[in-house]
Amino acid sequence: MEPYSDKVMDHFMHPRNVGEIADADGHGKVGNPVCGDIMELFIKVKDNIITDAKFKTFGCGSAIATSSIMTEMVIGKTIEDALTISNKAVVEALGGLPKVKIHCSVLAEDAFKLAVDDYLKKTTGKGLPNFKPHEE
């Protein structure tokens, strides 16, 4: 089994932005029935800038670490800039993940995009164009 990077271990042991935002502007929830990971991501948006992001994840260390770093990566960015963050960027930011755990980064990307989709539907009446969560 591949070892976890120090950054993965740090985000697992000391996850950032854990919790929920009661009056969130956007909320995304994804799950992988095969491995049992469930990820929820909440965002606050002001003037097109993501001012806060929180997560609740039920899952393995990789799922928690990818959720944690995703919130750090999107806070302070515009919606458009944050949407360019791919699961590959999440993996790179964590210093890599074992191959069998790459799906956790996909869940983090999908949870974030679902939160943006929710936000856009609430504010513009239209969701993210051409967005479909990945199928496991």
**Among the options 9, 35, 49, 60, which is catalytic?**
35
Among this protein's residues, is 60 annotated catalytic? Answer: no
Partners of residue 39 on adjacent β-strands: 30, 57
Q: Which residue has the tokens 């679902």?
A: 114
Of residues 44, 34, 33, 92, the one with CA closest to residue 65: 92
39, 63, 65, 104: which is the annotated catalytic residue? 104
Closest CA to 109 of 78, 129, 84: 84
**Per the structure block, which two tokens stand in for 83?**
């949407």
Active-site annotation, residues: 35, 104
